[in-house]
A and B are shown apart, each in its own frame.
Chain A
């Protein structure tokens, strides 16, 4: 009897050990993270891709990098998100091109059990997102106001005409920066008059045309806030072509290598720089931790501060914040 019990016990233990062993030895399923960005032709997203690929490699996850080649547009982004979700990723990092237009796509992802991270821009209802990450656009706009005021030698009692070049009316980054710019102007520089805004639709030639028209419309123009890299490129070309470098303060956004060089030659008064690679790294880290361990990030709504790059910036900071190209 005792022998029989021992035999049965031994067999049970062996079976249990084998089962545990098989389970323990089974290769862990490799996670897939989909990353749907705004417009691949925008250097901001190229810099973001560098961070995303590096973090995917470090975390040992597969990365699906998708987005429209050139149009930052809700109409083209929605079907791209649908296609990506059809591949059943474990997580989705989304840069929504419109807060309302991408809400349904985000809801569809979370309903399907896909962990969601929102980066750079956001949607109206972020309840189901694991994490939201953005540069501090309001603060960036405020820093741009400071840079323009400093460049034009702002004095209380005087008035100064400035204009703002945007890409679209609904991109939340544009909206945030513009609001931050307006708020700082209202509170600290009431003599700065924001005379006009116009859209470039992500085309630097359109941004160039807008600035050329403003130079005629406002002969006393003192400053231009180019709210993103596309507008910055178009505005810089307009000032160079018209020989107005140094005569009109130009503050741009995004540290494209070519634009950083133009700080040194005086075309840009300052550039407000973000850290898109850091945003991508943080998003993938948060999603992997959530999917693997169910761990929520310690801070759900992360804001990464922007920095002002100007002629006084150190070479180390220029190297740190200049966007890195893919090749």
Chain B
């Protein structure tokens, strides 16, 4: 009850400050990711400078999540180049592969790729897949898997940095051997499968029409995540520490429940500023959705207009409808005049 009231309050605040809140959220997300990259790598003093990272986060946040992801990938590749040219080339290749094989199919889910490494660092790896399953589509798993690849690329650079630093700058073979020995391919594979499996199972259950479907889907998401980790530890001999992982998954389930109550259950809609014109006027309109309204997007506006038919005088009602061809001609005329 209180949560719903609090959610409504949040919703009204969001409706009023949507543009600012969106930008601030993206900036925080970008800054957190960039600082995490600095923490994991930090080989280049220039690319590890906090003011530079903050400026990068500010600029990239203004352009959207995809730009933040591109900047993060460039940052990782830059840090790897500072360590060794061979490591830099390998990191750049991985970043390119992420875009070619994953982000291309889920460009709207780049935010998941940004959030996942940070949540994995804080020991809450299942939060992002659960949230994606609750709110997005199955293909969103590709965005989250990109985040897993980013995480393990940075982890590989961090783990092998001492060995690479000992090798000569031109000794590419030693660098590649170090990278080869440090690559945790099984861990990455199991985590990627766990992410994809969690997204799919949460999505499948929450679409079922029964009471508490959302809550049960979150719970099952946590169980599926742990199952993948256990299978990975026993079959692929991965080295996940089970106690922190269990605690983290339980915390992720709780976080998923909180997200569900506070944010995901409600339809947040953005206020927007629009500018358009007709023959007589320029219109500068700020569209602010009503807190309890049910209108969003073109299709929903359509519904609104179906309910609110124009009142036509009796003469006009008897008049035959205007022909579409004639309307098209008039439209072309008016466009030509414009």
Q: Do A and B bind each other?
A: no
Q: Residues of B with Cβ closer than 8 Å to A?
A: none
Using a CB–CB cutoff of 8 Å, the interface residues on chain A facing chain B are: none
